[in-house]
Amino acid sequence: DAGVTQSPTHLIKTRGQQVTLRCSPKSGHDTVSWYQQALGQGPQFIFQYYEEEERQRGNFPDRFSGHQFPNYSSELNVNALLLGDSALYLCASSPGRDPFYGYTFGSGTRLTVV
């Protein structure tokens, strides 16, 4: 049983560019959450998608947007990249009916903005 799959694993972008990160949830999970983990920090909640809608959002600017597809996979888009956006971006899936069931995390996408 495949867990959470994220792509790409590593990415280098230039300041001002846009980036799209992708996530396929664990089989049977319909909820996808995105977290940003800066170096030496704990993960910070960006937003969560359920039934193709953003269900909750953390304290991130509108440059961060997302989408969930009918097959429950999800994308995270970041526009106008800043150097401070460099981080590990983690996708986590869970069953929507029990939000505190406990996430299953992917291995993340390491984004470097230069």
Residues binding other proteins (CB under 8 A): 4, 31, 33, 35, 40-45, 48, 55-56, 58, 90, 92, 99-100, 102-108
Residue 46 CB coordination number (10 Å): 22
**Least gap, CB of 50 to other proteins (angstroms):** 8
φ/ψ region of 46 (left if φ > 0, alpha if ψ in -120 to 50, else beta) reads alpha
**Least gap, CB of 91 to other proteins (angstroms):** 8
**Residue (4 or 113) nearer to other proteins, CB:** 4
**Residue (14 or 76) nearer to other proteins, CB:** 76
**Residue (18 or 27) nearer to other proteins, CB:** 27
Burial class (CB in 10 A: 0-12, 13-18, 19+), 75: middle
**Least gap, CB of 48 to other proteins (angstroms):** 5
Cα separation of 60 and 72, whole Å? 22
